[in-house]
Chains A and B, each alone.
Chain A
Amino acid sequence: MSTPTRTPAGAPSSVGGPGGRIGDDAQRPDGVLKVRGEFAYASDLWMDDMLWGVTLRSPHPYARIRSVDVGPALAVPGVHAVLTSDDVPGEKVYGLELADQPVLALDVVRYQGEPVALVAADHPDTARRAAARIVVDYDVWEPVTDARAALGHPTWNQVHDAPAAVTELSRESAHLHPHGNLVRHLKVRKGDPEPTADVVVVGEYEVGMQDQAFLGPESGLAVPGEDGGVDLYVATQWLHVDQRQICSALAMPPEKVRLTLAGVGGAFGGREDLSMHVHACLLALHTGKPVKMSYNREESFFGHVHRHPATMRYEHGATRDGDLVYVKAEIFLDGGAYASSTPAVVGNAGTMGLGPYVVPNVHVDCYGAYTNNPPCGAMRGFGSVQTAFAYEAQMDALAAELGMDPVELRCRNAMELGSETPTGQVVDSPAPVAELLRRLVAMPLPPEPATGDDVDLRHMPGGVSNTTHGEGVRRGVGYAVAYKNVAFSEGFDDYSTARVRLEVVGGEAVATVHTAAAEVGQGLVTVEQQIARTELGVDAVVVHPKDTAVGSAGSSSASRQTYVTGGAVKAACEAVRGRVLERARGLVGRPAGDLRLDGGKVVSDLEGVALPLADVLGDDAVEETVEWRHRPTQALDPDTGQGFAHVQYAFSAHRAVVDVDTELGLVKVVEMACTQDVGKAINPQAVVGQIQGGTAQGLGLAVMEEILVRDGRVQNPSFTDYLIPTVLDMPPMRIEVLEYADPHAPYGLRGVGEAPNISSGPAVLAAIRQATGLPLRRVPVRPEHLTGT
């Protein structure tokens, strides 16, 4: 049997290319365009007679609107329309899971930046000036800004700041929504409710609010249709869920609201909720003209949900030998003003929150709360990122308490095939957690930090800021493992639709793949082509533009598209192939089972008979549309949180090596190493790209990325003040990709995108802790946390 691992160096890079099949490195069609600045993003959409739409947003995190006067805005020359919630013809609220968010503010605004009114004008500056003239009279209320306070819990967590004073709130303002401030409470209960253990470690942790920091801000163009409907070109993650919500707000049937995916500049969960979608459609329908909306960077920070900030308390009990006996955890997620995907994030944080370890006795309470902070929802890693910081810090603390090697402790308790998860599910596909760690340990370590004349500042903490030449620098190494459900869970009807056509055009066999699956930069279009080439034995595969003319593909999130849409494309190709071979059977005179498609021909392995597809198909096209589902999952038991809730798990592990300038509190991540099991690498080059990108995003959260919110207001809505890693912060990587097939998944593949984003940050934290000896209970870690000043 061949080795199940790959390294980037070992993977072939020249074969495949644009014509690659499954397992080949396939070049992305958008790659060169993006690097050259030639890729057309949604913000590049243009029609000659279009208007520009802008949004007036609330400056207050919590206020009642006494009145809105749009008169002065309408009086501005060049303005075509000014709209408020009165102009929303259908449902005035929307939402992914719960419809609780106003399309335009009703009587109360619940977060800073909530849309209040819209303007369409012939120039963006005219629209902006007009919006500034709308007079909104606010009765400003005291915002609720602490998730635990919002739920009436005592404030037990004092990580760095003193807890915010719990203000006396009137009953009216304390309840942000009629149903109260609790979005979801998930209980996981397993085993002995009152377990005891030889060794117990307790820790409280806090994770700040991270932004997706995608580079292409929210943009789209709505074009009124001749049938009274509307066509929307938009950068998004799930066209059909957008369509459902737009239809409801516009009170229109789906056939009148048609969506096409425009060029997406990154998503990471931030495009799962609506932003300008309904707004642009409303303006276009009102004015009868195409309307473009494109946020600038500052507005973008208010235009999408962020990663939930979390406060967590964990208690781990183990035997003296290092076997986990129990884990108790209390997890609070601040969902901000509206529900968005908070219920699902709570589901993930609660069920994934103990990590890839076998724990016989479990007691977890995970809460999602409403506050007047910015709404939080989907972001890469979705509930697992926050909890991984806590459970991995706990594993290290436990190892220290036991005097054990932290990797050994993890391997000893690692899940494997056949283990039972904390939610009572039996792991029914490979779970090489221990192997991932052991392979990391076996990798060579980078050289010790240079000193004296050999110092290259770029490799030092502080970089070319010239902060240290090696003095005060201490090295640390840390490990962490990610555990993430792939695809939608808890009984959700998770499917994708693929339409595949095979025909002969100009003598060449051409397959066309049509799905609504959003290409958000992850490389899905290449995967679709590779699958069609493999299954249909043709070189030319056209990927149809992504739109709602075909059925839903589900979201490009939860690491699910290669699995679910990949599965749908594979199934549709198989259906097409079955029909083609059936036709060929008569011509070749062999049973269809002996035949296959290759090189644009029908081939019989037994006799080598080759019949060009042109002879089989003539002028006909064979087309099949398939709706494909993964195995059904189940809802969790409401009292115990037990059940078959997840269809697949993703595992990755990181080793971080850091140098810390302990004098000035600066961190240089020297190297990141990652091992990940992907079941089957459909496009190995893209897998490596996902691992590198996810690692950078996790590193960013560990040491710099945080949306600073004070009294419900965002303090740093710009890339000057919200820092993300640059090329100088991101170190070289060692990557090993394992391929242990999941027997339940198409080609045995496993979702890739999120896991490396989960294990990277906690590994960096572990390394900094090792270098400094500090407990570091809060991320991101900043210089003042390291210098103790």
Chain B
Amino acid sequence: MRPFTYLSAPDVTTALRAIATEPGARLLAGGTNLVDLMRQDVERPTTVVDISTLPLDEVQELPAGGLRIGALVRNSRLAAHPAVRSRYPVLSQAVLSGASGQLRNMATVGGNLLQRTRCPYFADGTAACNKRDPGSGCAAIGGFHRGSAVLGTSEHCIATHPSDMAVALVALDAVVEVQSLRGTRRIPLAELHVLPGDTPDVETALDPDELVTAVELPALPVAASSRYRKVRDRASFAFALVSVAAAMEVADGTVTAARLALGGVAARPWRAHLAERALVGAPATEEDFRRAATAELATAVGRPQNAFKIELARRTVVATLHQLTTEGGAA
């Protein structure tokens, strides 16, 4: 690890000032991702701004019926929150499927959203990686890419975003509140992460001087009947090969509302609008679920090692929706 200056921010303004004035400053929340990357010499901050004690750690009811979740709410608290469990079970399940109990106790909502890719070449300083070192090439294409993306990739990067929580949030129409010295703005979560295109080093719509302060969930009745499914190589403590966040309402055998998102398949938590459109108004049968999944994945591009993810994603969508029709109700 390289030497750096450590600053424990006593208030939000101090933190904002530090990131506005120093290009090499990095925010430290739970540190479970940032510190690893510093050890691997991928992140080389000149100043580490510790925001973990800022008062952004509350879950509040919104007047219109939604929830406001502070950026420093720990993952374990979020998953256990009674309002989340009853009104947005998919979020609780997604968070609990990630990492381990110890990590979730440290990890925060903001840090989870902004964690970096798990592409092995990104963390390997000797490999070509456009995300880490723009213009150097992409070792994953033609190299080891079993875990890589199948949707929204470019010839410059095929990395995935690893968060489970974000997949549930994007399905729930979450909005991110960000602050800088210039003011406050709100970004739909679906627009927070950007696809690689020819600048894979640009991962989010945030400006360098911006701090995520909260995530807001709208009131969303359909979310009471929602599920998260995650397919991975072992039963705990592993990232998703493919995951699905789904919420659905069915009346008289017809889908009346649907929210669907995919994880492990793209550089962003992938909101499946095409599938949702195909679902609403259609009969709630496995055949129709499969048609909807196929519509969403029509543009997917598989490579030799990760092509299996496309069919795996289809099957996981069908299985999750099928479960929602047979069980209904909240978990």
A469 contacts partner chain B, Cβ-Cβ < 8 Å = yes
Give Cα A663 to B312, complex, Å: 8
Give Cα A193 to B40, complex, Å: 56
> Is chain B's interface secondary structure helix, strand, loop, or mixed overall?
loop
Contact code string A699-712 (vs B, CB < 8 Å = 1, else 0): 00001100010110
A462 contacts partner chain B, Cβ-Cβ < 8 Å = yes
Contact residues in A for B310 (Cβ distance below 8 Å)? 789
| A466–B229 CB distance below 8 A | yes
B160 contacts partner chain A, Cβ-Cβ < 8 Å = no
Contact code string B289-327 (vs A, CB < 8 Å = 1, else 0): 000000000000000100111111001100100110000
Query: Given known contacts A466-B93, A467-B231, A726-B235, is B143 in contact with A665 (CB within 8 Å)?
Result: no
A196 contacts partner chain B, Cβ-Cβ < 8 Å = no
B182 contacts partner chain A, Cβ-Cβ < 8 Å = no
Q: Which of A466, A704, A715, A782 contacts B120 (CB 8 A)?
A: A715
Query: Given known contacts A715-B144, A728-B236, is B311 in contact with A789 (CB within 8 Å)?
Result: yes
A59 contacts partner chain B, Cβ-Cβ < 8 Å = yes
Q: Which of A465, A703, A726 contacts B229 (CB 8 A)?
A: A465
| A728–B231 CB distance below 8 A | no
| B144–A708 CB distance below 8 A | yes
Among residues of B, the one whose C-beta sits closest to the C-beta of A59 is B126
| B237–A664 CB distance below 8 A | no
Closest CB of chain B to A64's CB: distance in Å? 17
Contact residues in B for A728 (Cβ distance below 8 Å)? 234-236
Q: Which of A161, A708, A725, A789 contacts B312 (CB 8 A)?
A: A789
B233 contacts partner chain A, Cβ-Cβ < 8 Å = yes
Contact residues in B for A469 (Cβ distance below 8 Å)? 323
Contact residues in B for A321 (Cβ distance below 8 Å)? none
| B312–A465 CB distance below 8 A | no
| A467–B230 CB distance below 8 A | yes
| A464–B236 CB distance below 8 A | yes
Taking CB atoms and an 8 Å cut-off, the chain A residues in 666-724 that contact chain B are: 666, 668, 703-704, 708, 710-711, 713, 715-716, 720-721, 723
A729 contacts partner chain B, Cβ-Cβ < 8 Å = yes
Give Cα A296 to B237, complex, Å: 20
Give Cα A720 to B2, complex, Å: 23
Contact residues in B for A296 (Cβ distance below 8 Å)? 39
Give Cα A703 to B232, complex, Å: 12
> Is chain A's interface secondary structure helix, strand, loop, or mixed overall?
loop
A472 contacts partner chain B, Cβ-Cβ < 8 Å = yes
| B118–A721 CB distance below 8 A | yes
Give Cα A614 to B124, complex, Å: 66
Most chain A beta-carbon contacts within 10 A, residue among B120, B126, B144, B228: B120
| B233–A471 CB distance below 8 A | no
| B229–A467 CB distance below 8 A | yes
Taking CB atoms and an 8 Å cut-off, the chain A residues in 109-145 that contact chain B are: 125, 129
Contact residues in B for A784 (Cβ distance below 8 Å)? 308, 312
Taking CB atoms and an 8 Å cut-off, the chain A residues in 761-789 that contact chain B are: 782-784, 787, 789
| B308–A783 CB distance below 8 A | yes
Give Cα A664 to B231, complex, Å: 7
Contact residues in A for B73 (Cβ distance below 8 Å)? none
| B308–A787 CB distance below 8 A | yes
Taking CB atoms and an 8 Å cut-off, the chain A residues in 719-773 that contact chain B are: 720-721, 723, 725-726, 728-729
Contact code string B75-117 (vs A, CB < 8 Å = 1, else 0): 0000000000000000001001100000000000000000000
A489 contacts partner chain B, Cβ-Cβ < 8 Å = no
Give Cα A713 to B323, complex, Å: 42
Contact residues in A for B62 (Cβ distance below 8 Å)? none
B74 contacts partner chain A, Cβ-Cβ < 8 Å = no
Give Cα A18 to B308, complex, Å: 54
Contact code string A161-183 (vs B, CB < 8 Å = 1, else 0): 10000000000000000000000
| B316–A466 CB distance below 8 A | no
Among residues of A, the one whose C-beta sits closest to the C-beta of B304 is A161
| B237–A783 CB distance below 8 A | no
| B233–A663 CB distance below 8 A | no
| B319–A664 CB distance below 8 A | yes
Among residues of B, the one whose C-beta sits closest to the C-beta of A664 is B231
| B236–A704 CB distance below 8 A | no
Contact residues in B for A664 (Cβ distance below 8 Å)? 231, 312, 315-316, 319
Q: Which of A471, A472, A666 contacts B231 (CB 8 A)?
A: A666
Contact residues in B for A715 (Cβ distance below 8 Å)? 120, 143-144
Give Cα A468 to B126, complex, Å: 40
Contact residues in A for B319 (Cβ distance below 8 Å)? 467-468, 471-472, 663-664
A463 contacts partner chain B, Cβ-Cβ < 8 Å = yes
Closest CB of chain A to B68's CB: distance in Å? 27
Closest CB of chain A to B289's CB: distance in Å? 13
Give Cα A113 to B271, complex, Å: 41
| B307–A789 CB distance below 8 A | yes
Among residues of A, the one whose C-beta sits closest to the C-beta of B2 is A129
Closest CB of chain B to A209's CB: distance in Å? 14
B227 contacts partner chain A, Cβ-Cβ < 8 Å = yes
Q: Which of B127, B144, B231, B322 contacts A783 (CB 8 A)?
A: B231
Among residues of A, the one whose C-beta sits closest to the C-beta of B311 is A789
B238 contacts partner chain A, Cβ-Cβ < 8 Å = yes
Contact residues in A for B211 (Cβ distance below 8 Å)? none
Contact residues in A for B241 (Cβ distance below 8 Å)? 783
| B312–A787 CB distance below 8 A | yes
Give Cα A471 to B286, complex, Å: 13
| B312–A723 CB distance below 8 A | no
Closest CB of chain A to B171's CB: distance in Å? 15
Closest CB of chain B to A715's CB: distance in Å? 5
| B234–A723 CB distance below 8 A | yes
Contact residues in B for A666 (Cβ distance below 8 Å)? 231
B187 contacts partner chain A, Cβ-Cβ < 8 Å = no
Contact residues in A for B118 (Cβ distance below 8 Å)? 720-721
B1 contacts partner chain A, Cβ-Cβ < 8 Å = yes
Query: Given known contacts A710-B143, A715-B144, A783-B241, is B312 in contact with A665 (CB within 8 Å)?
Result: yes
Closest CB of chain A to B243's CB: distance in Å? 8
Contact residues in B for A125 (Cβ distance below 8 Å)? 1, 3
Give Cα A783 to B233, complex, Å: 7
Give Cα A279 to B307, complex, Å: 45
Most chain A beta-carbon contacts within 10 A, residue among B97, B230, B232, B235: B235
Most chain B beta-carbon contacts within 10 A, residue among A125, A666, A703, A789: A789
Closest CB of chain A to B127's CB: distance in Å? 8
| A462–B231 CB distance below 8 A | yes
Closest CB of chain A to B263's CB: distance in Å? 11
Taking CB atoms and an 8 Å cut-off, the chain B residues in 119-177 that contact chain A are: 120, 124, 126-127, 143-144
Most chain B beta-carbon contacts within 10 A, residue among A161, A668, A729: A729
Among residues of B, the one whose C-beta sits closest to the C-beta of A58 is B126
Among residues of A, the one whose C-beta sits closest to the C-beta of B322 is A471
| B311–A787 CB distance below 8 A | yes
Q: Which of B1, B2, B235, B323 contacts A668 (CB 8 A)?
A: B235
Contact residues in A for B236 (Cβ distance below 8 Å)? 463-464, 726, 728-729
Give Cα A789 to B231, complex, Å: 14
Taking CB atoms and an 8 Å cut-off, the chain B residues in 229-275 that contact chain A are: 229-239, 241
Closest CB of chain A to B329's CB: distance in Å? 13
Give Cα A59 to B128, complex, Å: 13
Closest CB of chain A to B324's CB: distance in Å? 12
Among residues of A, the one whose C-beta sits closest to the C-beta of B147 is A721
Contact residues in B for A725 (Cβ distance below 8 Å)? 234
Among residues of B, the one whose C-beta sits closest to the C-beta of A457 is B235
Contact residues in A for B322 (Cβ distance below 8 Å)? 471
- 10 closest A-B pairs by beta carbon, nearest first, are A463-B235, A784-B308, A789-B311, A789-B308, A728-B235, A465-B230, A59-B126, A715-B144, A728-B236, A715-B120
Instruction: Show 28 A/B contacts (Cβ-Cβ < 8 Å), sorted by A.
Output: A125-B3, A129-B2, A161-B304, A462-B232, A463-B235, A463-B236, A464-B235, A465-B231, A465-B232, A466-B227, A469-B323, A471-B319, A664-B315, A664-B316, A665-B231, A666-B231, A703-B234, A715-B120, A715-B144, A726-B234, A728-B234, A728-B235, A728-B236, A783-B233, A783-B308, A784-B312, A789-B308, A789-B310
Given contacts A467-B231, A783-B233, 6 further A-B contacts (CB under 8 A): A471-B319, A664-B315, A723-B233, A726-B236, A782-B233, A783-B308
